[in-house]
Amino acid sequence: MVRRAISSFWRRLLSLDDTPERIALGFAVGVFLAFSPFLGLHTLLGLTLAFLFGLNRVAVLVGLFVNNPWTLVPIYAAATYIGGIFLGAPPEAVLPDFGWSRMWQSAYWVTLAKQWRILVPMFLGSAILSILFSVLSYTCALYLLKQHRPPDQRVDSTPLS
């Protein structure tokens, strides 16, 4: 299932009619926002930035969907853990003890919002992961797009003289 999703995302990026640099930048912005702590606002923020800065909207959306219901818990758990390490909090004091299976209930989010000892490390860890993965995703996407795009789909990015 994961392999199929990655393959689908990759095919979408390869088929876009834009320069590899613009596609990679749009994808990286999407990944940056996917790891940000602004849960529920990712798509709105991504499309707003795409329109404001003229980014490839499809590439931004593909990058945004790195964070989805199946990756949500691992991403935010890792962000909280990493933020806790940077803040000097022991891991067991940072991660919530009220069960990940309840995260689909509104009471979970109300309880979480009251836990500043969890939210501060999550915000810091999310910022760290956003920067790290957006830089990595730009570099990897640009390389792969330049290597694997069919010659008839490559857009010449050299300026006209």
Measured CA angle at 52 (ends 141, 159), to 5 deg: 60
* Residue with the larger pLDDT of the pair 111 and 156: 111
Residue 53: predicted pLDDT = 93
Closest by alpha carbon to 36, among 124, 119, 126?
Answer: 126
Residue 49: predicted pLDDT = 94
* Residue with the larger pLDDT of the pair 150 and 118: 118
Domain ranges of the chain: 8-67+137-151, 72-122
Residue 161: predicted pLDDT = 47
Give the DSSP H or E segment for 103. none
Reported confidence tier of residue 52, pLDDT bands at 50, 70, 90:
very high
154 alpha-carbon distance from chain centroid: 26
Determine the average pLDDT of the residues in 53-69: 87
The mean of the pLDDT values for the chain is 79
pTM: 0.74
Q: Are 30 and 66 in contact (CB under 8 A)?
A: yes
* Residues composing the chain: 161
- In this structure, the dihedral spanned by the alpha carbons of residues 118, 124, 130 and 133, taken in order and rounded to 10 degrees, is -90
